[in-house]
Structure 1
């Protein structure tokens, strides 16, 4: 399944940013944690994702679940988690815009301070929607730690707007057209043949992304410091696993001190 083929108020232009109007170390899987909340306030994202996955067991046939599980392992077997940009690598710069028409250059942001760069796959993905809501809930903590949140997505700007509205998010995600930036980070993979029909015909991926490419980016999260260096990377082939906000916040605190 591999080819190399974003409020300082809560106004987000794909990142918590009011000025312009998706820990050092790499995490390739979610660490084990106790069933608590972050700072006693925000439910842990991993717990929410696990509950969503458990609920799917009762409504998705076993054979279908096995097909998706195998697809995840197919992605992992390509080595994409290791071949994508890692901690210590130089971040990729890009000029992007969201559905509000505002343009943002990534390096202009990280030169002001650390950024959290996060991809979500699309509004059709329930795990992405859970993560987006969790990150918005964590925005104050991310900002207080010294960073801006930058969210990228391959879905069309109008679809990203629908995703924000459906989840009651104050987010304007930047459009990574054709996953061009994700490609440069080494995050893009081809969908395994067995699940292409579901993504193409049921989830309507071409309608969301505006092209017929049967590919997606990993739901990756990076922290990038002021020098443009990656200081934290969450890369997991399993789309049900996402960077824990508490870990991201700790990574931001470390990056802000460098």
Structure 2
């Protein structure tokens, strides 16, 4: 199985071949400015207690973090939306390793600001076996230190490339999150935390799995 980052780097390479330099420059500026805010150092850290959440899945069923942790340790993947090819590739990597997560007694959910309808499309199109949860306005992501406001020039960029964030997310807030991966122990303690202001970088799932403590289901 190819490394996730190799697949993401291929997307980046293809993008640089196909997209005009002036459009690429906008994305580069946005990444640099987001990194400069120090957001990566402000995320919910290892050893912290995870804030509890109740979020609807793609069917509208409310999923509670307390119910998930009652069953086993939890992997949480925060992603931007189905419009992001990097996020799709990452979730497909987790899809292919989901059986290993379950073998270790763990559970996996993915959280994004996209609407339940968008998640339903994504789950069906990419055969995602785990819950995709709707975090309206990135409210839970904010509690993890991951949320940010898309600046006006970047809003204009998204519109110009036909990525309609308000439609996809179902609100006009223009809130997004930096992609992040967490492993949470059953008592709510953060065992692993990694997030990147550069959306083109994600942790390797195979490097995350060892943080799932073996527990009988």
Q: Does residue 197 of structure 2 align to residue 237 of structure 1?
A: yes
4+ residue segments displaced more than 3 Å = none
Partner of 2:5: 46
Q: Does residue 209 of structure 2 align to residue 249 of structure 1?
A: yes
CA distance in structure 2 between the partners assigned to 1:62 and 1:199 by the alignment: 15
Query: Relative contact order, CA 8 A, sep 6+: which one is greater?
Result: 1
Are residues 172 and 147 of structure 1, via their aligned partners in 2, closer, same or farther at CA, if it must alter by over 3 Å? Answer: closer
Unaligned runs of 5+ in 1: 1-41
CA distance in structure 2 between the partners assigned to 1:145 and 1:200 by the alignment: 42
TM-score for the superposition, normalised by structure 1: 0.79
Structure holding more helix per residue: 2
Residues 98 and 174, structure 1, Cα contact 8 Å, conserved in 2:
yes
Cα deviation per residue 1:180-222 (whole Å; 9 max; x = unaligned)? 1111111101113321112245200010111111220111110
Q: CA deviation at 1:171?
A: 4.2
CA distance in structure 2 between the partners assigned to 1:195 and 1:104 by the alignment: 32
Select which of 199, 212, 221 maps to 2:181. 221
Unaligned runs of 5+ in 2: none
RMSD: 1.7
Q: Does residue 45 of structure 2 align to residue 92 of structure 1?
A: no
Number of aligned residue pairs: give it.
215
Cα deviation per residue 1:140-161 (whole Å; 9 max; x = unaligned)? 1111222100111110000111
TM-score for the superposition, normalised by structure 2: 0.93
